[in-house]
């Protein structure tokens, strides 16, 4: 069995379910209906990666302007 290197999400329960995180070097699509937490999950992953694990990341959205995204994240206390 091959060990797959993982990138931790920084949410302990989710990292546990995913056997340590997302496969490193892969592309992950997060899909779901409006209001299901896709953006919050993606931003938390990017934030945790940068602040806890010195990881690089990229967030792409076609639905929210950067201004609205920033306002929403600030409302959660993420700055």
Mean pLDDT over 28-42 rounds to: 91
Residue 10 pLDDT class (50, 70, 90 cuts) = very high
Which two three-digit tokens encode residue 43?
A: 């931003």
Interatomic CA distance for residues 79 and 73, integer angstroms: 7
Interatomic CA distance for residues 27 and 25, integer angstroms: 7
- pLDDT of 1 > 60? The answer is no
8, 53 Cβ separation under 8 angstroms = yes
Q: What are phi and psi of 7, to 5 degrees?
A: -105, 115
What does the angle CA 74 – CA 27 – CA 52 come to, to the nearest 5 degrees?
Answer: 45
Q: Which residues pair with 23 in a beta bridge?
A: 6
pTM: 0.80
Interatomic CA distance for residues 50 and 61, integer angstroms: 19
């Amino acid at each position: 069995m091959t060990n797959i290197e993982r990138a931790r999400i920084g949410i302990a329960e989710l990292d546990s379910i995913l056997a340590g995180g997302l496969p490193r070097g892969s592309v992950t699509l997060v899909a779901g209906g409006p209001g299901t937490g896709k953006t919050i999950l993606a931003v938390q992953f990017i934030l945790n990666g940068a602040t806890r694990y010195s990881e690089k990341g990229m967030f792409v959205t076609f639905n929210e302007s950067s201004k609205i995204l920033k306002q929403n994240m600030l409302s959660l206390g993420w700055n």
